[in-house]
Amino acid sequence: MVATLQALRPPRAMRWVTRWRWITVSLVVGALGLFFLIHSWWILVITGGLLIGAFYSYGVAKHRSRIVGEGSEGEALVAKVLDNLPMDARVLHSIQFHSGDKPREIDHLLITHNTMFVIETKYLRGRIVGDVQDREWTLHKRAHKTRSRYKRGFYNPLKQVATQIYHLRSHLESNLSDRWAHECSQIWIQGVVVFAHPQGDSSAVVNHEHGVVSIENLPQYLANYRPPSRASRLSYGLRREICRVLTGH
């Protein structure tokens, strides 16, 4: 069975939701304090401005909270699948590290004896279309209230996961000892994009050759995956050291 070494944690984006909530509270408290403590016509103008700002920040917090909440729901579904895989592997969720002077975040990392899988979860309701080489894919869906059709583009998740792999390898090789860093440079890291929404239609983009799967087919894809023959196996020691670098223990 899979050994879960790091449980799912709130995504980094949740910090911004918390900040916008605190901004809302601060603006409301400030407006009320001015209104009750200082009696002047120009204070009413400032109070009105503060309340408008609070209304705006509340809207931003609510919007971001909905997006983060939906993403977390999808990650929880994928985490449950990975935690119950009948295979000898280690899995880490919600991996955060710095590379290229920026914070990086990986939804899930599955480490087997021959491959390391970087797994990106997409929780999108609607029909997804796109090509492997496209910069953006397109989501076609209906609005909740009006039921009108609309579409929006989103960055090609295959390119997103390729960037994650580049920075993950760089981070590991920079923080592992020379022996393990050399061994790490020879292993195969496979990117996987998982579409997890029960009302999502990813049939037009599912491509097992390039690692795009639906959550229903994820266990089968992982069990049957074979890395290129040139790739080195991950020794027990390397797997242990990779987990140590990414979890801190």
CATH number at 27 reads 3.40.1350.10
Answer for the pair 180, 238: CB distance below 8 angstroms, yes or no.
yes
Instruction: Inform me whether the pLDDT recorded for 42 exceeds 90.
Output: no
Count of structural domains within the chain: 1
Residue 157: which domain range?
Answer: 3-247
Is the pLDDT at 53 greater than 70? The verdict is: yes
Check whether 47 has a pLDDT greater than 70: yes
pLDDT band at 122 (very low <50, low <70, confident <90, very high): very high
- Alpha helices, DSSP H only, in 2-40? 14-37
| pLDDT value at residue 67 | 59
pLDDT at 203 over 70: yes
Taking residue 124's Cβ as centre, other Cβ atoms within 10 Å add up to 22
Question: In the sheet that 3-6 helps form, which strands lie side by side, from edge to edge?
Answer: 3-6, 90-99, 102-111, 116-122, 189-195, 212-214
DSSP H/E element including 193: strand 189-195
Query: What mean pLDDT is predicted for residues 58-69?
Result: 61
